[in-house]
Amino acid sequence: MSSWIDGVMVVLILTNLALLGTSRITVCIRIIALQGVVLGTLPMLAGEEVTLRLALLTTATVLLKGVVFPWLLLRAMRKAEIQREVEPYVGYILSVMVGLLSLGGSVWLAQGLPLPGPMAGTLALPVALFMIFVGLFTICSRRKAISQILGYIVVENGMYAFGAVILDEVPTLVELGVLLDVFVAVFVMGVAIYHIRREFDHMDVDQLDTLKG
């Protein structure tokens, strides 16, 4: 199964680079949905045998990350009338270059990190770190609040990718708890996006600094 896990990790790398180089928010949300479906397969691939625990975890992950989260974000995007990320703090070509540098740094960093046990797949830890870096960079480099929400989800996806390949060390309740936290965060942020758009007619978070209490 190690080769299948590494194949999944390659898909995650490509989706993150695509996310950094795309301005259309609809496409970005679909990329996040694809990530969710792909991540949902990790517990099955990492487990030695298919159990009810793995089946429930896989189903919950695919439904939440691949269906529910993207639906909430698309709904918020339509209500806020957002189409694309315009003039981000960091351009898209430079963002992809930063992503490639982050990938190289993640590979280097992963070589020196001690692990509680052997990981399934040689790319699991570097890709998990890479996704966390990409998510943090997206939060810091984009102007639109909904793009920053996508970055937050990518960070959580990276943490989930790490936990899924050492499933025996991470209780299912902890993983589902993280998923629930993200679900609540996405829901609340979606409501906030709608109200910000309705009140101020824009979604540029830097313009919100001009508001006075």
- The pLDDT tens digits of the residues spanning 79-124 come to 766 767 667 888 889 999 999 999 999 999 888 777 665 565 678 8
Which stretches of the chain are DSSP H helices?
A: 2-20, 25-40, 42-46, 52-63, 69-80, 92-111, 124-141, 145-164, 172-200
More confident residue, 168 or 190: 190
- The pLDDT tens digits of the residues spanning 1-34 come to 567 778 888 999 999 999 999 888 889 999 999 9
